[in-house]
Structure 1
Amino acid sequence: MDLSQDLLDRLFAEALRARAFAHAPYSRYQVGVAILDEQGRIHIGANMENAAYPQGWCAEPSALTAMIMAGGKQAKVAVVTGPGPDIISPCGGCRQKLREFSVPEELVIIAGDPGGMRQRWTLAELLPHSFGPSHLNF
């Protein structure tokens, strides 16, 4: 997939915008995600904490749900933004959720914060030797 700088900038801006919707009164660690699907559409999500731990959820499943509800089938790019200065990456559970709706060698994950885009990986790099739908022979 050709990732033009314009497209990357749009995804990054949407991921930062999504952070404003985060509900993080306990950790105060707001996360926003923008996912580009196979149709070229952008879907955003934010983390939602809950006083009844661990009932909250991360930003990545929020964006994946938006993608699925809009008819998307496959995540192609995921831009994950946090507050900085440390580089954020999807947690283990979110890596597995992203795996369900992507080709690990093709899904590009970009980490950023208000200061800019910081790091880039494929899901295969973040989740090597992953377990996925093909293992279940469906």
Structure 2
Amino acid sequence: MSESLIDAADAVRAKAYAPYSNFQVGAAIRSVEGNVHLGCNVENVAYPEGTCAEAGAIAAMIASGDTKIAEIAVIAQASAPVPPCGGCRQKIAEFASGDVVVTMATTSGETLSMTVAELLPGRFDAGHMDASEART
């Protein structure tokens, strides 16, 4: 994990819209093409309608034309590195192989790295949707 990816995630974290929780999160994705895509959390007064930083970075990646994650960094001002929520773990798994490293960081410099497979064991993927495999 390059420090520059954590730095990019931290820079976008400062732009997060989090007036209700004051919990700003930033995410930076490096695509397999080498491009960096950023996202920050965007809250809404109707809490379930907000957007996570990881989802925003994935949307930016897709909008640019890239489709595969090579590495990802997520940062928040917290006492320990904060992992992506369950929904974002599934979103990340849609665009990353199981061995892709997800680095979670705090603004004070603590980091924790895990692979996508470690974050989401038994992930649901397109292979589960094959009708011939679904028969018992």
C-alpha RMSD over aligned residues: 1.4
Amino acid at match of 2:14: A
Q: Report the secondary structure of 1:85's partner residue.
A: coil
Instruction: Letter of the 1:135 partner, please give it.
Output: H
State the match for 2:102 in structure 1. Answer: 109
Question: Residue 93 of structure 2 aligns with which residue?
Answer: 99
1:117 Cα shift? 4.4
| CA–CA separation in structure 1 for the residues paired with 2:75 and 2:103 | 8
Q: Deviations over 1:67-112 (max 9, x none)?
A: 00111111111100000222211010000000111112x2110011
| Counterpart residue type for residue 105 of structure 2 | G
- The question of 1:57 aligning with 2:57 is answered no
Aligned to 1:137: 130
How high is the TM-score relative to the length of structure 1? Answer: 0.90
Residue in 2 that maps onto 1:34: 28
Please list every run of 5 or more consecutive structure 1 residues that lacks an aligned counterpart in the other structure: none
Residue of structure 1 in register with 2:19 after alignment: 25
TM-score (norm 2): 0.91
Structure of higher CA gyration radius: 2
Give the paired residue count. Answer: 131
Could you say if the C-alpha distance between residues 48 and 76 of structure 1 is closer, same or farther in structure 2, counting changes exceeding 3 Å? same
Question: Residue 134 of structure 2 corresponds to which residue in structure 1?
Answer: none
CA contact (8 A) 2:9 2:38 kept: yes
Structure 1 residue 41: deviation in Å?
0.7
The equivalent residue for 1:13 is 7
Higher helix share: 2
Q: Percent identity?
A: 40
User: Alignment partner of 1:116: what SS?
Assistant: coil
Q: Distance in 2 between the 1:107 and 1:133 partners? A: 18
